[in-house]
Structure 1
Amino acid sequence: MYDVFKVVNWLRVRNNADMRQNPIIEELPQMRVMKLLYYIQAASLSTSGKRMFDNDIVAWKYGPVIEAVYMKYSGCRGLVNSDHPITDQDLEDYKELQADEQASSILNSIYDVYGYSSAYDLMRQIHKEKPWQQTPHNGVIADKRIKDFYSGVFVSDA
């Protein structure tokens, strides 16, 4: 299991590389990061039975939130800018996760499928899915609920 901020740093480094290669790619907004973290956790739970990170995911009005990440980046629209430049530690976090075959497979798959969708589109999609619908507002979205629903969606390469 990884610290959630290592996973966030992986997303930031990947997005930064994408922006350097393609000028039409936009900076990763906090709201999209929350949705990607939700799908990363869902893929990890459904393919390995384990969490990617230990933080609970809470059902807020506009979608799933990891409160520690929200607090750190509160007031920031984007997470890859002059206020939050990519550091050597961010790059080390990225390399560590890339070196873990299972983590890398999950992270790259989720980013490739959902990383270019808008936060709004991801929110609309999540709001149609049972784990979200069955969780009270401001409640923790249960791992079992996530695992049971997404086991038919995310499958292991192994």
Structure 2
Amino acid sequence: MTNTYIKDYTNTFMIHGHEYEVTAPARFDSETNELIDDTKLDDQAVEIANQMYRDDKGLVSPEEIKKYRAKIGLSQREFAKLLGWSPNTVALYETGAFPSKSNNKILKALMNDDHFLNTLIVDDDTLPEVVVQKVKDYLNTASDEVIMAVAPKPKFTAIQLTNWYRVTNYFQAQEDLNVEELTQMKVVKLLYFAFGRYAVRTHGKLFTSRILAMPYGPVVEEVHKKFNGQRGIVANGLDDTAFDDFSEIQANSEISGLLSEILDDYGEKTAAGLSRITHQAGSPWSLTGQGVINPTLIAETFARNVEE
């Protein structure tokens, strides 16, 4: 096209009864100065008009759909299975077709809330296992969007918090001989509940230790490693460090108040009883299956006032 040139051209497009004026590069004949066809430039102008319509109507764009689908690791066919749509519908949306009003709502909800994604795999037992597993993998490895980088740095380690519960149990047993010795299984559940409530209140982590999904429920990795093989963790193991940790945490009203609150709410339950709570369908533990439980899942669950 040696006898042509390109300059901005303003054109009006009609999309579903709405007019959109677009100024974009177009090709002209050098001799006649008339507008001539250029598939690439013409398509770009049309897409600008389409995007103006999407912005006007709040529609999800093809790029947003493709980016989100890639983010959760699903093929077009798998994404269609997840949503109960035909693969052709997903393909059309990703190549420029406008989503229907109802489907657009679903896509926006999905992109804005991992909990909605959770519900899709929990509520549909007909989904292929490969789709369920890929979604679980995404949820397990997703960045901590709820646990913000600007959140306060944890004041204590998981071991220090455990020592607070251990010493508290020791003092309770001194006053009441019927108080049962605190076990490793029970303390990790108490820490899990405390972690969730703290995340909701501060958007931060109560401690940095990872929380793992193990057969008997959520487990705080540091605590599990330190007390592995032990059932009771009070009678034969309290040392000066444990009492020092207890005193330091007692001096922090925010953290000691939280730990006391959890103890008031769950202290009467057995470790097995607490496991039944954390094992409920749709809980972060059940969604993870095995491996590290995403702190975001925990925070979102507790934010819904569901302590699972």
Rg: which structure is higher?
A: 2
Which of the residues 19, 24, 27 maps onto 2:178? Answer: 24
Pairs within 5 Å for 1:58-97: 58-82=212-236, 84=237, 86-97=238-249
Which of the residues 125, 129, 133 maps onto 2:277? Answer: 125
Report what 2:100 is aligned to.
none
Which of the residues 141, 152, 166 maps onto 1:12? Answer: 166
Q: Deviations over 1:45-86 (max 9, x none)?
A: 11111111101100001011122211211111100112x1x2
C-alpha displacement of 1:116 = 2.3
Report what 1:56 is aligned to.
210
* Counterpart amino acid of residue 149 in structure 1: T
Q: Percent identity?
A: 34
Distance 2:305 2:262 in 1: 12
* Counterpart amino acid of residue 195 in structure 2: Q
Pairs within 5 Å for 1:131-146: 131-137=284-290, 139-146=291-298
Report what 2:256 is aligned to.
104
Aligned length: 151
Distance 2:206 2:266 in 1: 17
Q: Which moved more, 1:8-17 or 1:125-134?
A: 125-134
Q: Tell me whether 1:40 sits opposite 2:194 in the alignment.
A: yes
* Counterpart amino acid of residue 152 in structure 1: R
DSSP 3-state at the match of 1:47: helix
Gaps of 5+ in 1: none
Q: Deviations over 1:96-135 (max 9, x none)?
A: 1121121112111011111221000000011115222221
DSSP 3-state at the match of 1:133: helix
Distance 1:106 1:148 in 2: 18
Distance 2:289 2:162 in 1: 26
Aligned Cα root-mean-square deviation (Å): 1.4
Distance 2:289 2:229 in 1: 25
Larger relative contact order (Cα-Cα within 8 Å, sequence gap ≥ 6) = 1
Report what 1:115 is aligned to.
267
DSSP 3-state at the match of 2:296: helix
Q: Which has the higher strand share?
A: 2
Distance 2:216 2:283 in 1: 15
Distance 1:68 1:130 in 2: 22
Distance 2:173 2:202 in 1: 31
Gaps of 5+ in 2: 1-153
DSSP 3-state at the match of 2:288: coil
Distance 1:93 1:3 in 2: 10
